[in-house]
Structure 1
Amino acid sequence: MATLSSIGQVLPHQIQNPKMIPLLTASTTTLAHIKQIHSLRNPDANFSNKLLRQFSRGPKPENTLFLYKKLRTDGSTLDRFSFPPLLKAVAKVSALNYGLEIHGLASKLGFIADPFIQTGLIAMYAACGHIIDARLLFDNMSHKDVVAWNIMIDGYCRSGCYDHVLKLYEEMKSSGMEPDAIILRTVLSACGRAGNLSYGKVIHEFIRDNGLSADSYLQSALVNMYANCGVIDLAQEFYDKLSSKHLVVSTAMLSGYAKLGMVKDARFIFDQMVEKDMVCWSAMISGYAESDQPHEALNLFNEMQRQGIAPDQITMLSVISACAHVGALTEAKWVHTYVDRNGFGRELSVNNALIDMYAKCGNLVRAREVFQNMPRKNVVSWSSMINAYAMHGDADSATNLFHRMKEQNIEPNGVWLRRATNSFHP
């Protein structure tokens, strides 16, 4: 892994060597990236496009936009291959202002008819919450391939417009375009989230009739759809009929039971699995945490550590929730140390959860330390700390922090304020 010191040793004239691209884009240090980006001297379009692609795929896609600003400031050439990675980066970080500027530039340079740029724009607007603009662009495409349909259908699903997912799927079929497995998974997801069991069964029949039943990811999507529609028995019936139970399908079945609070059934599936990955461990731990079985969640997390399985952010949120539920300060401090050592301390949602955990474990000082050390705060951060003060009967500190939040032009969250008020009136 490249470090700030190692990247700092790269000379400006070396940077444009294509062999340096992996080094430039491997560092997770934004400062190092910015330093090297500003050292670029009029790179040709081919080299800058390679950098844009690498940055857009990396852990810090915002560096793509730093490079874009540098190229624009220097008057460097952008061609049609520059825009897809730029739009991909904008979508990842939801930077709509950049997206609008890049859209305008693509139009000005005459690249707007490029199908890769068109699909990139659709994905960007959908990711930034402008689903109507995405649909307008989609409707104006002269030729729509399966990728374009996929992006638009997925955009509707991510925006919670489940009826539009089904309508657009029907439009696609009417146009003569055959759906691929990715589109079918998205439609099944929409059916499950909307509780549309009848349409989910229609898709299941289509999958069976078109010889797609062996696709493990479609099998997983079907299990999820039935479980999310509240018919776990149909999910289990489908699961039992599978001759080979792929890891992702078993995990879907486990998750279905866990979400319904049927943790014994979930644990039975978990224990039967020969192969286990991080996702299934996380699903089982979350199931315990959400079913008010925090000790089981913590015990399973410890077993996960012994097995050498690295957790993700969702796992850590479940573990923090379990610690908060138990109110065990010793375990809470250990989890906090684990969070910091393993890079989760940068995550906003994790820090918010730590504030709540420490408050429920009786350590207001630690909760305040987490809050004060957060590099970035949102309304949940402020509300969590206000609620922590309220929970401990410190009305003055809660009131003062509330006024500070208002001074920062952060609108209070009604749910969190009700929680704080209830803490004063048990």
Structure 2
Amino acid sequence: MVAFGAKASHFAGLLQACINKRARLPGKIVHAQIVTTGLSPDTFLLNRIVELYATCGSLDDASRVFDTMPSRNVYSWNAIISASCKSGDIVSAYNLLGEMPERNVVSWNTVISALVKDGAEAKALDLYYVMLREGFMPTHFTFASVLSACGVLGNLEHGRRCHGLVVKVGLDGNAFVENALVGMYNKCGDILDATVIFNGMSQPNEVSFTAMMGGLLQDGYIDDALWLFAKMRKKGIQIDAVVVSSALGASARGAEDGEVGRYCKSLKCDGYIFGQQVHVLVIKYGFESDIHVGNSLIDMYAKSGDMCKAQTAFMTLPEVNVVSWNILISGYGQQGDSKKVRDVLQQMQKSGIEPDDVTYVNQLSAYIKSGDIEAAQQMFNNIVNPNLTSWNTIISGYCQKEMYEKAMELFRKMQFLNVHADRTTLAVVLSACSGMGFLQFGKQIHAAATRVMLHSDMFVASGLVDMYSKCGQIEAARWVFDRMPERDVVCWNSMMSGFSLHSWNKEAFHLFQQMRSMGMYPTEYSYASVISSCARLSSLSEGRQIHAQTAKDGSINNIFVGSALIDMYAKCGNVGEAQLFFNFMPRKNIVSWNEIIHGFAQNGCGDMAVELFEDMLRREEKPDSVTFIAILTACSHSGMVDKGLQFFKSMEKDHGIVPLADHYTCIIDALGRAGRFNEIKALIENMPCKDDPIIWEVLLSACRVHANVELGKLAAEHLFQLDKLNPAPYVLLSNIYADLGRWDGVSAVRRLMIDRGIVKDRGYSWIDNKESVNAFMVADDVRTVDNLSEQSNHWVCQL
């Protein structure tokens, strides 16, 4: 009996050695010897033989041994289940688990883990709950698999339940489980809870850092990812190719977005420079031959705009794949270099690597970026079966070129071919509806989004808010916004922009405050919108509050925020502060110059506006159409008629800018204020924009001031043709006749108003007493007016 046991022990040792070395042939020899010596009924040895064949990937041999076993225990079943899982036969493993007369936690863990690895996360989660119902206590292996499944499914609710059980069974300090929790929360988009878990880890390892960096990158926290990488190095934690690739990815995103956060600021560098430092580490640790690291290097340099170094990184890779070529093509595409893209594509095909869908999309993007939409369309037409990304790219290209009708035509064709739209498609088409003011089609897109359950998607909902706002349906935009389950800063910006567009300025300011109170960080676009609202409200105190906030978070140096602040101070009558801010702007563009010139024009400081305009020309800043509206307005309001005429004539002659209706309005206003009607008459005879009502309204107002019946009647007649129900021209013409004592003319105009059913609009005034806005109209209740009068007297006394 002792000899028998010694033999069994001897064979068990031999089998273990074969298992360790995955030595199938020597293992078969040992198996034959076991049979020869009469030990084949031994369950322990047979279990080891099954394990041997499973390790060597021979499921058939393992199954034959299992099927002929005279006696099986739980380890026998676990061995054959493991063999099925390792060979990829998950269905058999799942069925074997159900057939087991007795299971242990290893049985459950093996199948749950295999299901997760096989992409059947939902089934793994179901099996986990069956395991719990049958009274089995999960281990750290169970939790790692289940948390991974929750992460892939994006199922935060089940992930949190699993986390609760982890804490209950005391495994929340297990490194294996902690890493799985960090990964799950990151994949579910809950970066805050992922950070809490990570910060609470006693000894985070390279897996922890890699998972956390991936989550930060996914959520756009580029600088935090770079800081984490630096912390990892400082702690002496081993750096592998995956971590280096993540760091390069963060550097690429930082360089592409122009982001410089606290860590990069402390090093006085940006994403590009940090990426170069990581490149040094790549060389130091010998990762330059790793294809994933090499591709990350190419991507980092490409997104930084340094295509020379991207090309060098590409050339130094010992072996490239289709991803490498695609990144290089994308880099040249982002620069709009369609010729280089074609050259690289030819080199790729010569190398024997076939382009894939991504290659064609990158080439398509390159044509669009370079402005060659015709070449993009031709290339798109040559794609045999364009995928959804290709459709989205070409439709987006037409939207970028403001060719909205063509974009919609392509979208209809896409629907006809039964290509199903995704969130990107819907958002792009909504932008086309916004650009055209095509409300009816926008509503159809809203209905389509609802049918496929994408109406609540942030990307789509933000497009809906923008579409309804630009189509004049601000209430509908607010309705969509209020029902969004979650919002990012883009959604808030869309709603604020909508309020600002429709002069719902108080609402825009309150929305900005609400956004801040919810912990959302405003972007430069947020600030520009709310500052514009403050400008329209002439709310200097609120405007200064926003100004202080922009200074605090660094947005003050943004050129568009700065331009909005200039406009706000000017519209609040504080032109001196507007000029002071303008003078200290580190960078100025045409928008900044236009705002300051227009600010002086609005405040009657024509001389200063002219001085600034001439200074702008001396600095070789190229004026645009808006610049001339501002300077002509300044000349008009300050009585500098000849100067205004000089600038007007120089538009086309010196700057190649064809005067538009707004420019004619300004110069006619200037001439009208000066009573120079002969020059106006000559001007309007030759102007191309005779159907613009504002021009005739300005002329009619000037005729009223100077009692010019001849031109006043001409202007009124044009206005009657353009909008016969507008009461303003009738009233102005009637007043001209009245001022001259021509009562027959007054009677004729009034009869015309009665015949056409036109009623003069009631005038109204409003007073902002800081706590509320009080408005009253002509013929309002006397008590209301008396009350406002008492308040006004009280304020005057206080002054």
Aligned-pair distance for 1:406?
6.0
Residue 179 (structure 2) pairs with residue 89 (structure 1): no
Q: CA deviation at 1:276?
A: 1.9
Q: 1:60 to 1:298 in 2, by over 3 A?
A: farther
Matched, 1:291 2:401: yes
Residue by residue over 1:312-334, the C-alpha shift from the partner in whole angstroms, topping out at 9 and shown as x without a partner, is 33222211111111111111011
Alignment of 1:44 with 2:139, yes or no, is yes
Residue deviations 1:337-364 (CA, integer Å, cap 9, x gap): 1222223223223212211101112222
TM superposition score normalised by structure 2: 0.45
Residues 320 and 354 in structure 1, CA contact (< 8 A), matched pair in contact too: yes
**Residue of structure 2 in register with 1:56 after alignment:** 151
Please tell me whether Structure 1 or Structure 2 has the larger radius of gyration of its CA atoms. Answer: 2
Q: Which residue identity is paired with 1:166?
A: Q
Q: CA deviation at 1:407?
A: 6.0
- How much does 1:196 deviate? 0.7
Q: Does 1:415 align with 2:525?
A: no
Cα deviation 1:2-46 (Å, max 9, x = unaligned):
xxxxxxxxxxxxxx967788899539xxxx9xx999989843333
Match of 1:7?
none
- CA separation of 1:282 and 1:180: change in aligned 2, threshold 3 A: farther
Residue in 1 aligned with 2:245?
150
Alpha carbons of 1:395 and 1:76: their partners in 2 closer, same or farther (altered >3 Å)?
Answer: closer
Letter of the aligned partner of 1:99 in structure 2?
T
Q: Relative to 1, partners in 2 of residues 1:406 and 1:186: Cα closer, same or farther, differing over 3 Å? A: closer
2:334 maps to 228
Cα offset, 1:226, TM superposition? 1.6
Partner of 1:343: 453
Contact map agreement 1:298 1:319 (CA 8 A) in 2:
yes
Picking from 174, 196, 208, the partner of 2:306 is: 196
Q: Among the aligned pairs, what percent are the same residue?
A: 19
- With normalisation by structure 1, the TM-score equals 0.80
Distance (Å, rounded) in 2 between the aligned partners of 1:136 and 1:224 = 32
CA contact (8 A) 2:183 2:194 kept: no
Which of 319, 324, 327 is residue 218 of structure 1 equivalent to?
A: 324
1:240–1:351 Cα change, 3 Å: same
Letter in 1 for 2:399: A
Which range is displaced more, 284-293 or 71-80? 71-80
Aligned counterpart for 1:324 among listed residues 434, 442, 448: 434
Aligned residues: 399
> Are 1:269 and 2:269 matched, yes or no?
no
1:245-298, Cα deviation, whole Å (9 max, x unpaired): 332211111012223332212112211112322211111111111121112222
Give the conservation status (yes or no) of the 8 Å contact 1:261–1:290. Answer: no
The one-letter code sitting in structure 2 at the alignment partner of 1:414 is Y
Q: Indicate the residue corresponding to 1:11 in structure 2.
A: none
Q: Residues 346-392 of structure 1: CA distance to partner in whole angstroms, max 9, x if unpaired?
A: 32232122111011122223112102212233444344333323323
Task: From the superposition, tell whether residues 409 and 104 of structure 1 become closer, same or farther in structure 2 (CA, over 3 Å).
Answer: closer
Q: Which amino acid aligns with 2:344?
A: F
Supply the AA of the counterpart residue of 1:300.
L
The change in CA–CA distance for 1:422 and 1:231 in structure 2 (over 3 A counts) is farther
Mapped contact 1:192–1:229 kept (Cα < 8 A): no
AA in 2 matched with 1:415: A
- Secondary structure at the aligned position of 1:166 is classed as helix
1:177-204 CA deviation, whole Å, 9 max, x = no partner? 3343322332222222221122122123
Alpha carbons of 1:314 and 1:37: their partners in 2 closer, same or farther (altered >3 Å)? farther
Q: In structure 2, what is the equivalent of residue 356 of structure 1?
A: 466
Structure 1 pair 378–274 and aligned structure 2 pair: CA distance change class (3 A): closer
Greater relative CO (CA pairs within 8 A, separation 6+):
1
Cα distance in 1 for partners of 2:240, 2:489 equals 41
**Partner-residue secondary structure (3-state), 1:377:** coil
Residue of structure 2 in register with 1:302 after alignment = 412
Give the CA deviation at 1:55. Answer: 0.8
What is the CA deviation profile of residues 201-232 of structure 1, one whole-angstrom value per residue up to 9, with x for unaligned ones? 2123224xx242xx222111111112223433
* Cα contact 2:198–2:212 (8 A) shared by 1: no
Whole-angstrom CA distance in 1 between matches of 2:347 and 2:363:
13
- Counterpart of 2:70? none
Q: 2:214 aligns with which of 123, 138, 141?
A: 123
Gaps of 5+ in 2: 1-104, 256-270, 538-570, 572-661, 663-799
Check 1:156–1:242 CA distance in 2 against 1; reply closer, same or farther (3 A cut).
closer
2:231 to 118, 136, 143: 136
Q: Which residue of 2 aligns with 1:260?
A: 370
- The one-letter code sitting in structure 1 at the alignment partner of 2:527 is G
Cα RMSD of the aligned pairs, angstroms, is 3.7
Q: 1:85 to 1:283 in 2, by over 3 A?
A: farther
Please name the residue that 2:695 is paired with. none
1:77–1:86 Cα change, 3 Å:
closer
User: 1:384-406, CA deviations, whole angstroms, 9 ceiling, x for partnerless residues?
Assistant: 33332332344454455556556
Give the equivalent residue in structure 2 for 1:315.
Answer: 425
Contact 1:150 1:182 in 2 (8 A): yes
Q: Give the counterpart letter for 1:44 in structure 2.
A: T
After TM superposition, the structure 1 = structure 2 runs for residues 18-33 of structure 1, keeping only pairs within 5 Å, are 26=122
Deviation at 1:168?
A: 1.3
Kept after mapping to 2: 8 A contact 1:356/1:385:
yes
